[in-house]
Amino acid sequence: AQTVTQSQPEMSVQEAETVTLSCTYDTSESDYYLFWYKQPPSRQMILVIRQEAYKQQNATENRFSVNFQKAAKSFSLKISDSQLGDAAMYFCAYPQGAQKLVFGQGTRLTINP
Amino acid sequence: EAGVTQSPTHLIKTRGQQATLRCSPISGHTSVYWYQQALGLGLQFLLWYDEGEERNRGNFPPRFSGRQFPNYSSELNVNALELEDSALYLCASSPGVSGNTIYFGEGSWLTVV
């Protein structure tokens, strides 16, 4: 069964610094997608970034980028120039069976002013 | 463009009663997903509907059921409510094609007393 593991329950970073959140996954598929979602206190899940496994280039969305290591099944999220509004729970997710998202346990990110 | 909308925002029910939660997907999306997020348990996949049919079901008892209407909106019904059903219920939608991003609504809080 496919699993997603986030080994960091909590992380904190100083405002304007860079932080990296880790995620590993297990799959036997060769073509798939990976996602990072953010859940602020409002509880709405917001898409942060998406990576296609067939692409060697790491996805980037403004201050958010990923380090995708397909062979190692690792998918970390880097947040540059951290802002107070980045404080949230971050979930790594993998679509099992094409559509059903399997989520990691989440990492609570705190931004210190 | 309107996002995924859910109603009600909050719902309080008594143990043994039935709860109905509603979801309207993003225009053009044919797939609707339901997730349960209970405190300390992360996000658990409940149901996936596409084109009016139930396509996949998570590991939940039969008293969790739902349906998708011709306009692609969806209902989640929880019968014989138990205290442990208290959770945030998140609805999401996607265009229904494998690999597409899944977008979430703001959720419905269900409290069972």
* Cα–Cα distance measured from residue B50 to residue B94, given in angstroms and rounded to the nearest whole number: 9
Question: Residue B108 forms beta bridges with which residues?
Answer: B89
- Chain B residues in contact with A43 by the CB 8 A cut-off are 37, 88, 106-107
pLDDT in tens, B84-113: 999 999 999 998 766 678 899 999 999 999
* Cα–Cα distance measured from residue B96 to residue A31, given in angstroms and rounded to the nearest whole number: 17
pLDDT in tens, B45-68: 999 999 999 999 999 999 999 999
Q: Which of A105, A32, A30 is nearest to B98 (CA)?
A: A32
Series of mean pLDDT values for 10-residue runs along chain A (113 residues): 87 97 90 91 91 89 94 95 96 80 93 95
Nearest CB to A44; choose among B33, B45, B106: B106
**pLDDT higher for A72 or B39?**
A72
Question: Residue B65 forms beta bridges with which residues?
Answer: B77
Q: Which of B37, B53, B43, B45 is nearest to B96 (CA)?
A: B53
Nearest CB to B45; choose among A33, A52, A101: A101
Phi and psi at residue B85, to the nearest 5°: -80, -10
- Chain B residues in contact with A32 by the CB 8 A cut-off are 99
Shortest distance between the Cα of A113 and any Cα of chain B, in A, equals 27
pLDDT at A32: 84
In percent, the amount of chain B with pLDDT more than 90 equals: 84
What mean pLDDT value characterizes chain B? 93
Q: Which of B23, B43, B48 to mutate to test the interface with A (most CBs of A within 10 A)?
A: B43
pLDDT at B79: 97
